């Protein structure tokens, strides 16, 4: 029985206690756990999906697709396939992103409850947690939580006497960034090479083993129990914008207090960086930031009062992505930063399509030349062309277009750095030193 007298303002992190292990099942239930599941099992599956739609929950993995709409695309009824799947995308490999790790390590039962509810809503009897291999502590805590739920018959046959059967499995990935793309994840889960698939068909109709499958991000699924327990109106009131709920925002870079915080959806960049992250370290100034992980466009200091929500960030010329900012200060070499990201993306290409396989290493090579004093003026034209050749619609999936976002925006906002490196043919650090004398 829950001890809570009123809904929490920060539902996702309400039960997380820093420096302490996560709650076991008994304490989880005493603090409101599985009340959402109990409520869901008394509803018709389509009503659960309708509630998620009404709450305005958008996917927290980066794309921001409405969760209830995705669930509603799964075939239901007597003619629908009997076997369906729900998968938690816990392959958190986006550079600068660590929000799901907080949830997985701090409150694994919350994810499990969300997956059971999601499975019930779409008629799935099996779920998989696809976990980044490096998240060893998260895997340990998830396994313990799954064992405890099985022992208490919260997983398996006839959950809580409802007649609903649901089994859940933990799968650790082979460690590829491309597995964060849902169709590549499905291929990997099937034991195949992690290569994205052409769409349509979409996973909601033909996914894992050819059956209807929903893939949701960890943070997305963790919101589900609270929506069912406290209602759609409550969830919408948590937000400062049209999208419902809270968001786990993160910030890394040369900040006084880098980290992650659960805040109302639509909290401004300034509040996140100055109030929660403590601002930049002494003597540093903000030049720009990637608002949603490495594969988003740079924004600049003029965007400090921008609300961090999907639509506002898109209008500003970037993507909110995962909502975890990477901050660029005035003492950090922007070309070196972009080169570092390009090196990562080039190494992580699955190699399936030529533009991505060959274009990303080419871009990294050019950036390396600029960074180490071997650049040429024509390099800037080639980089600009690469951002078009590897842009949306020219590659098999969004990996290369995502890699182009920090590059194209750096060329736009920090053009002087690139021109100085190309025209003088010396490293940026050396140029700055000469100018200071």
Residue 14 placed within a domain:
no
Q: Which residue has the tokens 């690469």?
A: 386
Q: What pLDDT, on a 0 to 100 scale, did the predictor assign at position 2?
A: 44
Q: What pLDDT, on a 0 to 100 scale, did the predictor assign at position 437?
A: 41
Is there a single domain that holds both residue 338 and residue 200? no
| Strands 85-90, 213-217: pairing kind | parallel
**Separation of alpha carbons 383 and 390, rounded Å:** 10
* CATH (domain of 194): 3.40.50.11540
Which uninterrupted H or E stretch holds 248? strand 246-252
| Strands 299-300, 286-290: pairing kind | antiparallel
The confidence band for 435, taking pLDDT boundaries of 50, 70 and 90, is very low
Is there a single domain that holds both residue 372 and residue 319? no
Q: Which of 157, 159, 161, 192 is nearest to 178 (CA)?
A: 192
State the residue range of the domain holding 68: 25-237
Residue 2 placed within a domain:
no
Q: Provide the CB-side half-sphere exposure for 240 (13 A, CA).
A: 12
Residue 410 placed within a domain:
yes
- Average pLDDT in the 87-91 region? 97
Q: What pLDDT, on a 0 to 100 scale, did the predictor assign at position 406?
A: 96
**Separation of alpha carbons 211 and 214, rounded Å:** 10
Is there a single domain that holds both residue 122 and residue 186? yes
Is there a single domain that holds both residue 118 and residue 260? no
Q: What pLDDT, on a 0 to 100 scale, did the predictor assign at position 35?
A: 96
The confidence band for 3, taking pLDDT boundaries of 50, 70 and 90, is low
Is there a single domain that holds both residue 309 and residue 362? no
Which tokens go with 376? 């040429």
Is there a single domain that holds both residue 325 and residue 339? no
Quote the pTM value. Answer: 0.93
**In angstroms, how far is the first alpha carbon of the chain from the final one?**
70
Is there a single domain that holds both residue 316 and residue 231? no
**Separation of alpha carbons 322 and 62, rounded Å:** 5
Q: Which residue has the tokens 């509810």?
A: 117
Is there a single domain that holds both residue 313 and residue 273? yes
Give whole-number Cα distances, 215 to 33, 60, 175, 177, 359, in Å: 23, 12, 18, 16, 29
What's the total number of domains in the chain?
3
Q: What pLDDT, on a 0 to 100 scale, did the predictor assign at position 436?
A: 40
Beta-carbon contacts of residue 388 (< 8 Å; ≥ 6 apart): 394
Is there a single domain that holds both residue 98 and residue 166? yes
Is there a single domain that holds both residue 178 and residue 50? yes
Average pLDDT, the chain: 93
Is the pLDDT at 420 greater than 70? The verdict is yes
Report pLDDT digits (tens) over 68-83: 999 999 999 989 999 9
**Separation of alpha carbons 280 and 55, rounded Å:** 36
* CATH (domain of 390): 1.20.1440.230
Q: What pLDDT, on a 0 to 100 scale, did the predictor assign at position 159?
A: 97
169: left (phi over 0), alpha (psi -120 to 50) or beta: beta
| Strands 286-290, 324-329: pairing kind | antiparallel
Is there a single domain that holds both residue 233 and residue 250? no
* CATH (domain of 276): 3.10.20.600
């Amino acid at each position: 029985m829950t001890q809570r007298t009123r809904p929490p303002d920060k539902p996702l992190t309400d039960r997380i206690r820093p420096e302490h292990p996560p709650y076991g099942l008994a304490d989880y239930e005493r603090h409101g756990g599985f009340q959402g599941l109990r409520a869901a099992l008394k509803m018709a599956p389509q009503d659960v999906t309708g509630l998620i739609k009404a709450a305005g929950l958008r996917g927290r993995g980066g794309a921001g697709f409405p969760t209830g709409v995705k669930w509603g695309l799964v075939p239901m009824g007597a003619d629908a396939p009997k076997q369906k799947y729900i998968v938690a995308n816990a392959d958190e490999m986006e550079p600068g992103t660590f929000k799901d790790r907080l949830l997985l390590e701090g409150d694994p039962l919350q994810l499990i409850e969300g997956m059971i509810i999601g499975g019930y809503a779409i008629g799935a009897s099996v779920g998989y947690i696809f976990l980044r291999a490096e998240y060893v502590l998260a895997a340990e805590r998830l396994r313990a939580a799954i064992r405890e739920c099985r022992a208490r018959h919260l997983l398996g046959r006839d959950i809580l006497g409802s007649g609903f059967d649901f089994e859940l499995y933990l799968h650790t990935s082979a460690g590829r960034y491309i597995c964060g793309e849902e169709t590549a994840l499905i291929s990997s889960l099937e034991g195949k090479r992690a290569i994205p698939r052409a769409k349509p068909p979409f996973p909601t109709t033909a996914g894992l083993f050819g059956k209807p499958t929903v893939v949701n991000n960890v943070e997305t699924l963790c919101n589900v129990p609270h929506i069912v327990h406290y209602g759609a109106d409550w969830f919408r009131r948590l937000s400062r914008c049209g999208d419902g709920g809270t968001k786990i925002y993160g910030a890394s870079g040369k900040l006084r207090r880098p980290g992650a915080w659960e805040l109302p959806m639509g909290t401004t960049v300034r509040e996140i960086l100055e109030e929660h992250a403590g601002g930049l370290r002494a003597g540093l100034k903000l030049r720009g930031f990637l608002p949603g992980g490495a594969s988003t466009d740079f924004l600049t200091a003029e965007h400090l009062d921008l609300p961090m929500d999907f639509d506002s960030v898109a209008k500003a010329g970037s993507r909110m992505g995962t909502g975890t900012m990477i901050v660029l200060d005035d003492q950090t070499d922007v070309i070196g930063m972009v080169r570092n990201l390009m090196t990562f993306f080039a190494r992580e290409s699955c190699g399936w399509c030529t533009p991505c396989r060959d274009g990303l290493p080419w871009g990294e090579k050019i950036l390396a030349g600029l960074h180490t004093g071997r650049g040429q003026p024509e390099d800037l034209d080639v980089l600009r062309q690469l951002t078009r050749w590897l842009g949306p619609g020219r590659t098999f999936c969004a990996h290369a277009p995502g890699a182009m976002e920090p590059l194209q925006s750096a060329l736009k906002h920090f053009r002087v750095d690139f021109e100085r490196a190309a025209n003088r043919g010396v490293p940026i650090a050396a140029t700055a030193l000469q100018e200071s004398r």
